[in-house]
Structure 1
Amino acid sequence: MNSEGVHLLEHLQTPAMMIARGQVRFANAAAQSLLGAHIVGQDVRIAIREPRAVATILSQEGGRAQVKGLSTGGSMWEVDCKIIGPHERLVSLYDLSERISVAKSHADFVANASHELRTPLASVIGYCETLMNPKAGNDEALRNRFLGTIRHEAQRMQSLISDLMSLSRIEAVKHEVPSDTVDMVALAHEVAGEFRDGAKVAVRENCREALVAGDRGQLSQVLRNLIDNSRKYARPDGPVEVAVEAASTGWVLVTVRDEGEGIPPEHLPRVTERFYRADTSRSRAVGGTGLGLSIVKHIVERHRGRFDLESRPGRGTTASLMLPLRKD
C-alpha cells in the first residue's frame, strides 16, 4: 500500500492493520490502542493471539470472522480481511459488543414483558373458565370473589401496558433535550397533593422556586412514581417526605424519603433495571410492574440529571435526583 493509503488508514477511527507476509507492517492509532503499540513488526499470530482471527487473516481468500475478547473478556469483534496484493492484507476490526448487547437487551425485554403479561392473563382465563361451569357460576359468593381476582389481574395488565408504552415514548425522545421551564417546588406540591389517602406526604423546600429546563409531564411522572413507591413500601400510615433544595452550585436536589423496611444492599445496584424487583411477591401484591424506577432513571438521564437511591434495611429509603437549574 502506498503512503497515501497509509495516511488515510491513520485517520480512521476503526482499528486497521496492514499485514505483509504474516507480519504486521502498519497499525493505525486505533489498532495500537486496542492491541498495543508493540504489535508493529510482530508476527500476526503473536500480535493477535486469537486462532479464528489469525486463520482468517492468513487464509488465501481473506474473509470475515467474529471473535471474542480482543479488548475485554466479554467483547465481540468482527475481523474483516481483504487481500490487496500477492502477500498483503488489509485487516479492519469492528466492535460488535454494543450492537450485540442491545440486541440481547431487546430480546430479554420482550421475554420479560411476555412473562409479566402471561401470568395475569393465565389467571384471567382460568377463572373465566371456572365461572363458565354452572356449579361455580351460580355460587354468588364464589362468583364475586373470582370476578374480583379477574379485575385485579386485568388492572395489573393495564398498568404494565401503560408503563411499557410510557417507557417506549421516553426512549423515543431521549436524545431531545427538554426546553420548557418547570418550577420543581410548585410541581412537588402539586404531585404530593394527588396523594390524599394512606401515608401522609409532606413537602419542604429551601427556596420559593427552583426552575429547570424540562418536560413537565415527564418530571411529574418521576415524582409520582417515587412517591407512589414510597407509599407502597413505607410502614403503614408512615410519613413520606418530599424535599426540594436549590444549591448555589447550580443544581436542584429533589429527594423522596420514607421510613419503611428499606432495600437490602445487594439489590440496590439493580433496582433500576427493567422488571427487576427486590421483593417479587410483595411488589406484585401492591401492584408493582417492575418498570417504575427504570422509567424514573430514563427521564432523569434525558434531563441531563443524576438519580440515586440510598437505603438501609429497617431504616427506610431515600430516592434523590439532581437536575441543573435553568440559566437565564
Structure 2
Amino acid sequence: MSTNSQDQEIDLGQIRIGIKKFFNGIINSIFDVIFFVKKKIIVIGTLFLIGIVLGFFIDKNPVYTQDITVIPNFGSNEYLYKKVDFLNSRIIEKDEQFFKSIGINNSDEIGKIQIKAINGIFGFVNMRDNEQNFELIKLMAEDGNIDEIIKSDITSKNYYLHNITFQTAEKINQNEVIDPLLKYLQDNSFYKTQQKIYQENTNDKIKFNDSLIKQIDGLIVKLSDNNSGSNVSISENKGISELINKKNELVIESQYLKIHKHEYEDIIKTQNVSLNNVSTKGLNNKMKLILPVLFVFLYLGFYKFSSLYKKQLARINS
C-alpha cells in the first residue's frame, strides 16, 4: 500500500512539473514575440505601413458586380442556362467579334457570367399552371434527401426567379452591356412562337372569365329578384352560394393571368437590374487589411527560416 501511495505521489509530482513547464513555455514564447517585435519595431512598422498604402492603392480600382434577376417564360429555363453557358464559352475564347455582333463592344472587361436559381421551392410546388410539381417533389423526396433535391440543378433550374451575375473591371452603362445581353437572350424563333400562343391563350382565357363572371352576376340578380319577398328554399340558397364561390375563383384566376400577361412580354422577363455594385467577394476591396498582415507574416516567416538555417549550418560545420 505504501509503495502504491509513493508511486501515485511521484506520478502527480511529474504531472505538476509537466504542466508547469507547459505554461512556462507558453509564457516564454509570448514574451519572446514581444521582445522580438520591440527589437524589430521599425522594420515591422515600415512593412505594415507599406502594406496599408499598397492595399489602399489596389482597392482604389475595385471590381464591380452586375446583377440581373430574370423570369424564364414558356418553359425556357433550360434554354436560358444553355445560353449563359454559350456566352461563357465566348468569353473564354475572347471572341470580341461575336460580342460586337450582339452589340457589346467592351467584352474584354466582362468576367465569367454566372446564373443561379433563387430558392423558391414553395412557389415551385404551388404554381397554378404546373400543379404536378408538388407530386414530383414528393416522389423525389421518397428516394433522397429533400435538401439535396431542393438544391439540385434538376429542380432549381425550374424555379421562378434566377440571378444572372458577372463582374467587370470598370463601371458599365445598362444600354451598352445589359440591354444587348438581354436582347440576345430573347433571340429564339421557337420561344417567340410559344410567346404568341401563350399571349393569345391568356387573352382568350381572361375574356372568357370576364364573360362568365357577367353571366354569374346576371344569374345571382335573377335568383335574388325571384326570391324577394318570399321564403328562399335551402337549395336556392345553396345555388347562390355556389355561384358566388365560382365567381370568386374566376376573379382570382383572371388576376393571376393578368400578372402573367405582363410577364409574357418577353421570353426572358427582366425583374430587376442592379449595376456597378463594388464586389467584396474573396480578396476584393480587402487588400488594405490583408497586405499589412501578409507582409509582416512573410517577414516573420523569413526571419524564422533564416535563424533555423544558420543553426543547421553551424551544426553541419561543427
Which structure dedicates a bigger proportion of its chain to strand? 1
Where on the TM-score scale, by shorter chain, does this alignment land: which range?
under 0.3
TM-score, reference length from structure 2: 0.18
Higher relative contact order (CA 8 A, sep 6+): 2
